[in-house]
Amino acid sequence: MNNTEKKPKSVLKIMAPILIIAVIVGIFILKGSLEKPITADTGDLALEATAIDLEQLKSYGLPIVIDFGADSCIPCKEMAPVLKKLNKDMQGKAVVKFVDVWKNKNAAADFPVQVIPTQFFFDKDGNPFVPKDAEAMQMMLYSTKDTNKHVYTAHQGGMTEEQLRAVLKEMGVE
């Protein structure tokens, strides 16, 4: 009788740790599948966009560069490889977006786009970037008329990779 009583206890001693380990492994697997990795394949972080959901982009907690241009404008064409490279290089460090305003006419409706290309910059907290020397960077700071609240920082015209990297560096991107 002693032998039969010992078998369930020894099986329980073996199964309990195995069950605990299985539960822990299951939790890690489930947690990993629920987290959305920040990659270039993620729709929000792909370079080209048809519309801008600024609140969604701000939720990543990364500096943001949005370029409004067109596939057929000459300065925009010159910037295209630069934007593509920066989008790839800055994954997980900054959000770099391009919107073709000729193909997506309403995409820039919430932004004061007067010419193309025009770039808008937001810091990691989602606020309009405040450059140390806006004039030297050829930046325009837009404010509301009634409250004078700073709402946009923009650059009109093409930018080189070096210029964009300098802005990103000033925004804290290494």
What tens digit of pLDDT does each residue of 53-107 get?
999 999 999 999 999 999 999 999 999 999 999 999 999 999 999 999 999 999 9
The whole model's pTM is what?
Answer: 0.75
- Please tell me which residue, 35 or 102, carries the higher pLDDT value: 102
Hey, which bits of the chain come out as E strands? 48-49, 64-69, 95-100, 118-122, 139-143, 150-156
Q: Helix 74-89 to helix 161-170 angle, to the nearest 10 degrees?
A: 50
CA separation for the pair 69, 82 (Å, rounded)? 13
Query: What pLDDT is attached to residue 14?
Result: 74
The pLDDT value recorded for residue 24 is 74
Residue 31: band (very low, low, confident or very high) from pLDDT cuts 50, 70, 90: low
Instruction: Give the pLDDT of residue 7.
Output: 64
Alpha carbons 52 and 11: distance in angstroms, whole number: 59
Q: How many residues does the chain have?
A: 174
- Containing H/E element for 89? helix 74-89
Per-residue pLDDT reduced to its tens digit, 106-118: 999 999 999 999 9
The whole-angstrom separation of Cα 98 and Cα 107 is 11
pLDDT of residue 93: 96
